[in-house]
A = this chain, B = another copy of it.
Amino acid sequence: MLSEFSLIDRFFARRARATPRAPLGIGDDCALLLPRAGEMLAISTDMLVEGRHFLPDVDPHALGHKALAVNLSDLAAMGAKPQAFTLALALPEARESWLSAFSEGMFELAERFDCELVGGDTTSGPLNICITVFGEVPHQHALRRDAAQPGDDIWISGTLGDARAGLGVSRGEWSVENDDAAAFRRALERPEPRVALGLALRGHARAALDISDGLAGDLLHILERSRVNASVDIDAVPRSAALRRLTADAQRRCTLAGGDDYELCFTAPRSARTAIEAAGKTVDVPVTRIGTISALRTGEPAITWHDAAGTPLTLTLQGFDHFHAD
């Protein structure tokens, strides 16, 4: 067992240093951050709990990656550039091997995105990881959920459903070839935050969010905040080659109500199609149009689903809702 202070020093504080962006580093009552003039500070916080967001036997390196990745994904969905993060960690015991792998997984991702650890807290307790992340975005470029307009295209980055398929494999819901299982597991454990795409969409996309609870539930957040409807072609929803080897029913469950995708769902005017395609190519992330935003005439915002032939479909699938009895 390590004492708290040597634990913090050994795995975390030594990785944090005073920089022009964060001139104090770790070890004081507060971190100090120097925002650049003209930029808004984008802030997001996510709490990950064992049994809820990851399994007890999760690889700690993958957990360190994912804990930061889901926060960076929120910055990406805002079109914000990562700057810094804080880490609060409750651990049942301070095992060095676990901490070493966890911190490596986290810092590898942090360094790739030039995002500095500036503060934190550790305590004993049931395993809980709470990261708060900070990024910068010019006010007029923030990709907000309330900015979708009738006539906008609806776009998706990457492919959806692989993470949910990975969960299905681990639960024995379906069995797949080893290569596909590995791809699904990688999607579940090591999501790639679409930060570069978020930045490339500034000035082109209108509304955006990241898909963490499933397309069906998350797209509805854009609709509710923007007071619009949506029409989506479920056959256009991008899927990996591995996912296409599951049954059509499993594919739909995974892509529409899967969750843990951390791909961007965004809207943009038709006039931006060329720019959006170019942005995707520049950052090497596929972008796919799956539907259209329309005006809300009466009632509550809703998604109308149809297949490639235009046949309407009724879905009862729901995204995760953390206090449902699910």
Task: Mark A residues whose CB is within 8 Å of B.
Answer: 1-5, 7, 23-24, 27-35, 37, 40-47, 49-53, 74-75, 77-78, 80, 86-90, 94, 118-126, 128, 130, 132, 134-135, 137, 139, 142, 144-146, 208-210, 221, 225, 321-325
Contact = CB atoms under 8 A, between A and B. Distances in A.
Counted per complex, copies of this chain come to 2
A25 B29 CA distance: 26
Contacts of A75: 29-30
Contact of A29 (B41, B44, B321, B324): B44
A135 to B, nearest CB: 7
Contacts of A128: 47, 49, 90, 125-126, 128, 130
Given A40-B33, A144-B28, A94 B45 contact: no
A87 B40 CA distance: 20
A193 B10 CA distance: 30
Contacts of A209: 28-29
A46 B121 contact: yes
Contact of A125 (B51, B74, B146, B324): B51
A35 B32 contact: no
Contact of A90 (B45, B47, B77, B134): B47
Contacts of A53: 123
